[in-house]
Chains A and B, each alone.
Chain A
Amino acid sequence: MSTQTLPPKTEAPVIVREYVDRVRGGDLGALPAVLGLVVLTVVFSAFQPIFFSPGNFANLLTQGAVYVVIAMGLIFVLLLGEIDLSAGFTSGVCAAVLAITLTNMGWPWYASVVAAMITGAVIGLVLGTLVAKIGIPSFVVTLAAFIAFQGVVLLLLKQGTNISVRDPTIVAIANRNLPPWLGWLMAAVTVAGYAAVQLAQARNRARRGLPTTPPLLLAARVGGLALVVGLVVYVLNLDRGRAVVLQGVPIVVPVILVLFLIWTFVLRRTAFGRHIYAVGGNAEAARRAGISVDRIKIACFVICSFMASIGGIIAASRANSVDPNTGGSNVLLFAVGAAVIGGTSLFGGKGRALDAILGGAVVAMIENGMGLLGYGAGQKLVVTGLVLLLAASVDALSRKRAAATGHR
C-alpha cells in the first residue's frame, strides 16, 4: 500500500487486526491493568461480598486517590527513564506545610494549599536541577531526598507530634460528596466533551482527506465511555449510608478527573508533551532536534513533585491530620506500582496519564480487598510488591518482544 492510495477511511476489521498485531508485538497498552481489575473484582467479591457494595466502591476511590495523583506525577519522570524515590515523602513534607500553615498559623485554606504546592514545585526544581545540570543519577538524588525528607517531616512536626487538619474545605476533598445532580452533570459534560473532541478531529481529518477512525469505532468509544461513567455515577449516587443518607460522587473524583484531563492534554496535544516522549525515547535525537533536554527533565521533576504535593493535600484531608508517616511507608511503592501496572514503562518513552488511574485502581483494590479479607499490613505489602514485580516483568518482557518483532 502506498501513502498516496491509502483509503480515506480505515475499516473496522483493520483496526481490530492492528490492535491484535500491536498486542502480539508487545504493546499491551491498558490490557494488563483492565484484566487485573476484572480478576481482582471477581475474586474479592466471591470471598467477601461487601467488596462489591456501593459503600466500598466509594471507599476504594478515596483510598486510591493519593496513589493515583502521585503516580500521575511519577509518570512524567518515568517517561524520561528516570525515577523519583522521594515522591512519597515529598507529599509528606507538603502535607506538613499545609497542616502547619493551616492549623498552627491560621492561614486560609487556599493560602495553605498554594504554599504546599509551591513547596512541591520547589522540591522538584531542586531535584530536577541536580539530575539535569549536575548529572547525578536520579536514583541517587531522590534516594538522598527520600531519606532527608523523612527527617524534614519529623523536624516540621516537632519530633513526631501529629497536627490535625480541621478546615472544612480541606477535609471535604476526601470526605465529602457531590450532590447527585452534580455528579450526573459532570458525567454528561465529560461524555459530551469527549464525543465533541473526537468528532471535531474526525471531521477535520476527513476534510483534508487524511485517514480517519471509522464512525463505528468512534461510536463504540463514546458509548463505552458513557456506559462506564454512567455506571460509576449511578452506583456512587446510591444511598450507601448506615444511619443517615450518604450518597454522591466523592469530591476527589472530579479533582482526579481535572488533573487527568490537564496532563493528558499536555502529553498528547502540546509540543512540550511531545518533547517529553522524545527525550524518553532518544535523548540524543531530541537534542539534535534542538530540544533543550535539560529543561524538559527539570520540568518533569517539577511536575512530579507538584503532583506529590496534591497527593499530600489529599492524604491530609483523608486522615484529618498529618503525622510523620504521611507519605511514608508504602505510598511510594504503591504509586510506582500504580504507574507501572497501568502500563508506563520503567525504560522511558512510554506512558499515559490514564495509566495512573488504571494502575492506581488495581493497587487500591489489592489493599482494600485484602484488608476486607482480614489480611494484615504484612501480607498486603508482600502481595503489592509481588504485583509490582509482575508488572515490571510484563514491561521488560513486552519490551524484549517489541524489539524482536520490530515494534517500539
Chain B
Amino acid sequence: MSSQAPVLELRGIDKSFGPVQVLHNVAFSAYAGEVTALVGDNGAGKSTLVKCIGGIHPYDSGEYYFEGNRVQVNSPRDAAALGVEIVYQDLALCDNLDIVQNMFLGRERKSGLVLDEATMEEMAAKTLAGLSVRTVKSLRQHVSSLSGGQRQTVAIAKAVLWNSKVVILDEPTAALGVAQTAQVLELVRQLADKGLAVVLISHNMNDVFAVSDRIAALYLGRMAAQVKASEVTHSQVVELITSGRSGELGLKNGAAT
C-alpha cells in the first residue's frame, strides 16, 4: 500500500445537464494497486462522474490529470488510449454479438482488412482464464444467453483485456446473488493486487469495506470526503452518504474539507 501520486486525478469538475448542475467542484483520485470505493446515495452523481472520466459526457470545467499530466478526454477512445476502462452500470454489451465480439468491440484485431477472429478468441480465452472464469460454455455464444454474473464477468474481462491502468466498475454487484457478488469482489481485489487502480462504485457497505483501500463519498454532486478505509467506520461512511458530513469529516457549508 502506498501513498504515491495518484494515477488518475480530477480537480474542480463541474457538470450540468441543461439547467441542472449534477457535479459541483468535484475532486477525485485513484491510486495504483488500490481499490477506491466511490459511494453516494442514488442520484448523487456517481455514474455521471464516471461517464465524465470515460469521455462519454464532456465536463463543463475542471482539470483531468493522468499520471501527473494534464490531459483532455473528449471521447471514449481518448479514455481508452490513456488506459482507463469502465464497466458501466448497464454493462453496455451487445446482446446480438458473442463474447469475443463484445470484448473487442471498437478495437477489433485485424490482419489487413480482415478481422483476425482466431487471435481475438485466443486473447479472450487467455484473459478469462487469467480471471479464473470457468463458467462460460463457449466464447462464441451470444451474450444474450449469459446469466447476470456471466455478463458482468464478460464486461470486466473486456475492461482488463487492454493493459489498462485504471478500471472503474459502476455498481457491478447490484444485480448479483451472494455467490456471484463474492466472485466479482474477489476479481476486483485481484485487479488491484496486479497493480491496477480500481474504482468500485457500490451501495453495499460490507462490499466496500471488504475490498477498498480508500473511500470517496459523493453527496448531492459534491465530494464530501475521500479517506482511507482503515480510518473510518461503517456508520461514518453512512453518515457521509446521507448527510454529507460526519464529525470532522465532510462538507461544511458546501465546501469540502
Q: Do B94 and A286 touch across chains, with their CB atoms under 8 A apart?
A: yes
Q: Which residues of A contact B75 (CB under 8 A)?
A: 290
- Inter-chain contact A350/B96, CB cutoff 8 Å: yes
With A204-B118, A408-B96 as known contacts, state yes or no: A286 contacts B136, CB within 8 Å.
no
Interface centre among B75, B96, B137, B138 (most CB of A within 10 A): B96
| Of A204, A278, A407, the contact of B142 (CB 8 Å cutoff) | A407
Q: Which residues on the A side are within 8 Å of B101 (C-beta)?
A: 274, 277-278
Q: Let me know if A288 and B76 touch, CB within 8 A.
A: yes
Chain A, Cβ-Cβ closest to B158: A289
Mostly helix, strand, loop or mixed at chain B's interface? loop
B33 contacts chain A at the CB level, 8 A cutoff: no
Within 8 A of B (CB), among A247-286: 269-271, 274-275, 277-278, 280-282, 284-286
Complex formed: what's the CA distance from A299 to B110 in Å? 21
Residues of the B chain whose Cβ atoms lie less than 8 Å from the Cβ of A211: 138, 140
A278: B residues at CB distance < 8 A: 94, 97, 101, 105-106
Binds B, one of A2-10, A175-183, A214-222, A315-323: A2-10
- What's the nearest-Cβ distance from chain A to residue B170, in Å? 12
Q: Are B133 and A407 in contact (CB under 8 A)?
A: no
Alpha-carbon separation in the docked complex, A288 to B105 (Å): 10
| Complex interface bits, B129-151 against A, C-beta within 8 A gives 1, otherwise 0 | 10001111111101011100000
- Is A50 in the interface zone, CB < 8 Å from B? no
Smallest beta-carbon distance A80→chain B, Å: 12
Residue B122 CB within 8 A of the other chain: yes
Is A40's beta carbon under 8 Å from chain B?
no
A275 in contact with B142 (CB, 8 Å) = no
CA distance A402 to B95 in the complex (A): 11
Whether A269 contacts B122 in the complex (CB less than 8 A), given A280-B96, A288-B54, A290-B80, comes out as: no
How far does the alpha carbon of A408 sit from the alpha carbon of B75 in the complex, in Å? 29
How far, in angstroms, from A275 to B106 measured CA to CA in the complex? 7
| Residues of chain A contacted by B136 (CB below 8 angstroms) | 3
The listed residue (B54, B106, B139) touching A286 by CB distance below 8 A is B106
Is B97 a contact partner of A281 (Cβ separation < 8 A)? yes
Given A288-B88, A291-B105, A408 and B125 contact (CB-CB distance below 8 Å):
no
B56 interface residue per 8 A CB criterion: yes
Q: Is the CB of B144 within 8 A of A282?
A: no
Whether the pair A285, B93 counts as a contact (CB closer than 8 A) is yes
Q: Is the CB of A3 within 8 A of B133?
A: yes
| Other 17 A-B pairs with CB < 8 A, given A3-B128, A349-B94, A349-B95 | A2-B134, A3-B133, A4-B134, A6-B138, A204-B118, A205-B121, A210-B121, A211-B140, A270-B113, A274-B105, A277-B96, A282-B95, A284-B92, A288-B76, A288-B88, A289-B92, A408-B142
